């Protein structure tokens, strides 16, 4: 005989709305915590606002995971061999790859230049070529000449995507750690 027991409908403990798979987080469902996604977001932001170093901790966790994934997948661009950490990008979700570090053909490490998709619109490429010629024709950092890999990073400065991302990383690190920039005496 089939069970006639009805399932209890779950409601959010904070706001009282009916919980469904769309508005109830998977991790909360697994542990049986009855809170909707919007209430979870508010609760998490309140918790994180009490910790003044939360954003620094979060950024450090991200960097640690990114480094582990890059190291596990070859520590260099799969297409051109670039091995500068600041110029590498990951094909896939860092968190997924960190949790499932296995060699896979679907995921690879590439540099920003090799990751750039070719232009499909001939007019976009035409105007970009004109802009590149006006700004010097090659990257100011490494002399890369392929138009697809160049960007006008700052006004009047032409860089390839690798040099641009490397420069951004260096500037961001200097802003986060100004004590490293100070000179003794």
How would residue 184 be classed by pLDDT, with cut points 50, 70 and 90?
A: very low
Express each pLDDT in 8-44 by its tens digit. 788 999 999 999 989 998 888 888 899 999 999 999 8
CA 27 to chain centroid: 22
Least Cα distance to 38 among 69, 13, 65 occurs for 13
DSSP 149: G
d(CA 68, CA 126): 40
CA 65 to chain centroid: 11
Question: Is the model's pLDDT at 182 over the cut of 60?
Answer: no
Q: Where is average pLDDT lowest: 8-22, 49-63, 89-103, 133-147?
A: 89-103
The residue ranges of every structural domain in the chain are 10-50, 54-113, 116-177
d(CA 37, CA 145): 48
What's the pLDDT score for residue 41?
92
What's the pLDDT score for residue 3?
52
Express each pLDDT in 44-68 by its tens digit. 888 888 888 888 888 889 889 988 8
Question: Is the model's pLDDT at 181 over the cut of 70?
Answer: no
How would residue 176 be classed by pLDDT, with cut points 50, 70 and 90?
A: low
How would residue 97 be classed by pLDDT, with cut points 50, 70 and 90?
A: confident
How would residue 103 be classed by pLDDT, with cut points 50, 70 and 90?
A: low
How would residue 93 be classed by pLDDT, with cut points 50, 70 and 90?
A: confident
What's the pLDDT score for residue 35?
93
Q: Is the separation of the CB atoms in 164 and 157 below 8 Å?
A: no
């Amino acid at each position: 005989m089939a069970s006639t027991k009805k399932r209890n409908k779950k409601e959010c403990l904070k706001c009282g709305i009916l919980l469904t798979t769309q508005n109830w987080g998977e991790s909360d469902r697994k542990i049986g915590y009855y809170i909707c996604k919007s209430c979870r977001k508010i609760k998490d932001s309140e918790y994180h606002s009490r910790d003044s170093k939360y954003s620094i901790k979060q950024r450090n966790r991200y960097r640690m995971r990114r480094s582990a994934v890059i190291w596990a997948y070859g520590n260099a661009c799969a297409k051109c061999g670039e091995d500068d950490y600041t110029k590498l990008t990951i094909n896939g979700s860092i968190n997924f790859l960190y949790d499932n570090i296995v060699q896979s053909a679907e995921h690879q490490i590439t540099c920003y230049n090799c990751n750039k998709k070719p232009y499909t619109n001939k007019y976009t490429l035409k105007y970009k070529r004109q802009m590149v010629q006006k700004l010097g024709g090659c990257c100011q950092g490494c002399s890369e000449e392929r138009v697809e890999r160049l960007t006008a990073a700052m006004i009047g400065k032409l860089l390839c995507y690798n040099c641009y991302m490397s420069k951004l990383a260096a500037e961001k690190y200097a802003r986060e750690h100004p004590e490293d920039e100070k000179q003794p005496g």
